[in-house]
Structures are given as C-alpha cells and as structure tokens.
Amino acid sequence: MKKPQSSKDEEFRRIKRRSPNFFLEDGQLKRRNNPNPQLVISSQEVQSYILKSLHEDMGHRGENEAYRRIKARFWWEGMKKSVKKLVQSCLACQKRSQNLQREQGKSTATSTIFERVSMDAVHIKSGRWKYMVVARDDFSGWPETVGVVKLTEKVVAEWFISEWICRYGSPKEVTVDGGP
C-alpha cells in the first residue's frame, strides 16, 4: 500500500492498520464481520435514512436492539453514537423508557391463572390484517390473539369480552402499554 502525497503520516498509518478489516465486493466497500459482512455507509444522508427506517420498523425497542439490528447489515464510523443520539431524541422511545422505569418497582407475581392479563397491539406490515391484538396471562403465559383491520377501543373491548372474559372469567387486572 502506497501513501498518497495528500495524506498525513498518522492518518495513513491508521488506514493501513485498519485496511484488512475492509474489502470491495461488486463495487461496494464492505467491512468484515462474522458471520456476514457489513455494507460501509459513508453518506450521512443514507445513515440517517437507515437509522430512522429501521428504528421505526422495529417499533421503538430501544438503543441496544436498534444498534444490534443496524450492525447486522451496516457499518459507519461512530454508528453506536448515532443510534444513541437517535433513540435519545425519539419521543416514543423516551415515553416507553419512562413507562418501563415506572413499572420496575411493581410486583408482577400472581398467585392464580388468569388473575392478571397483559395486552398489546402489533402493527402488521402486509396481509389481510393491519394489527394483531395479543392478550397474555401473566401466570401461565397463555396467549390469545386476533387480527384486526382497524384498531379501536371498541373492537379490542368486544374481542376481549367475547374471547377472553366469556371463556376464562374476568381478570383482577389488565395491563396495557397505551400503544396503538
């Protein structure tokens, strides 16, 4: 490897030391990473697009999960800091984080089956249904789900009454995260 005249000695040594970690494939610069190579992203615009797209698609699951998913396919200098900055500036993530912190001191132990039920709704990207509603017994882990086109309080309440309460009885507590 020959040093370009425009490059400083220190910068060239750093590049030379790190160069075995990178290779070209089909005209794209990639970084060696087990088991799969990562595509090197140098454009800040593309970095922002990747960050926002993957973060939104995975449902605001926090810094560690966002970094893990992005790292599986891409690489750029300072990527971990970029992910941290995005998550810290994301209102939905901050609300979720505050809810988790608030509930940490709350006991989740139950003594009987169907005493406490947790419910959530998940957005589905394609197919007949737009959302999947999940109700899960905290003691046994027993789940019940339904696909719905429109997510409203009425739709969820009618389903919960007919498919959960009528079959298993009324729980003492139902926990929801306040999401969609």
Count of domains for the chain:
2
Confidence of residue 97 (pLDDT cuts 50, 70, 90): low
Indicate which CATH number applies to the domain containing 54.
Answer: 1.10.340.70
pLDDT of residue 96: 67
143 cis-preceded (ω within 30 degrees of 0): no
How many angstroms separate the CA atoms of 91 and 97, rounded?
Answer: 10
Range of the domain at 54: 9-96
Least confident residue range of 2-6, 81-85, 126-130: 2-6
Q: Token digits for 25?
A: 């494939």
Residues 152 and 78 in one domain: no
Question: Within a domain: residue 3?
Answer: no
Residues 76 and 139 in one domain: no
Among 66, 96, 126, give the residue marking a domain's end.
96
pLDDT of residue 39: 93
Indicate which CATH number applies to the domain containing 132.
Answer: 3.30.420.10
**In percent, how much of the chain has pLDDT > 70?**
89
What would the pLDDT profile of 27-66 be if each residue is shown by its tens digit?
899 999 878 899 999 999 999 999 888 877 777 777 888 8
Question: Within a domain: residue 103?
Answer: no
User: Across all residues in the chain, what is the average pLDDT?
Assistant: 84
How many angstroms separate the CA atoms of 69 and 73, rounded?
Answer: 7
Residues 91 and 16 in one domain: yes
In this predicted structure, the answer to whether residue 102 has a pLDDT above a threshold of 60 is: no
